[in-house]
């Protein structure tokens, strides 16, 4: 079986988006928003309609794998506020 180099090039080339083209669905922008504490707090407050005074732990793309033979899960974001409430 031969591999067509043009099809490989097509699959590996991605158009870079400008900042104006990015949305919250884009992995890069989502991680940036969630890693900036002040912006993250405001974002979560707006989305959930709650008041958060402080976030004591932020982790974008938290991977949880409990047992060696089990499947893990990947969370887009893991936040813990000053009261110990966890937001996934």
E strand residue ranges, the chain: 55-64, 73-81, 86-87
In a domain, residue 44? The reply is yes
In a domain, residue 74? The reply is yes
pLDDT tens-place values along the chain, 88 residues long: 555 555 555 556 678 888 889 998 898 888 888 888 999 999 999 999 999 999 988 787 777 777 777 778 888 888 899 999 988 8
In a domain, residue 9? The reply is no
The reported pLDDT for the residue numbered 11 is 58
The reported pLDDT for the residue numbered 17 is 87
In a domain, residue 5? The reply is no
In a domain, residue 1? The reply is no
The reported pLDDT for the residue numbered 32 is 87
Torsion sign (Cα): 51, 78, 80, 53: negative
Domain count along the chain: 1
The answer to pTM > 0.85 is no
Domain span including residue 71: 18-87
In a domain, residue 13? The reply is no
The reported pLDDT for the residue numbered 41 is 92
In a domain, residue 8? The reply is no
Start-to-end Cα distance in the chain: 45
């Amino acid at each position: 079986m031969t591999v067509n180099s043009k099809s490989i090039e097509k699959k590996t080339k991605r158009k870079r988006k400008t900042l104006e083209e990015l949305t919250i669905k884009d992995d890069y922008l989502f991680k940036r928003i969630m890693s900036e504490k002040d912006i993250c707090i405001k974002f979560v407050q707006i989305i959930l309609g709650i008041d958060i005074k402080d976030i004591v732990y932020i982790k974008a793309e938290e991977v949880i794998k409990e047992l060696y033979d089990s499947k893990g899960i990947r969370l887009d974001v893991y936040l813990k506020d000053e009261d110990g409430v966890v937001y996934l």
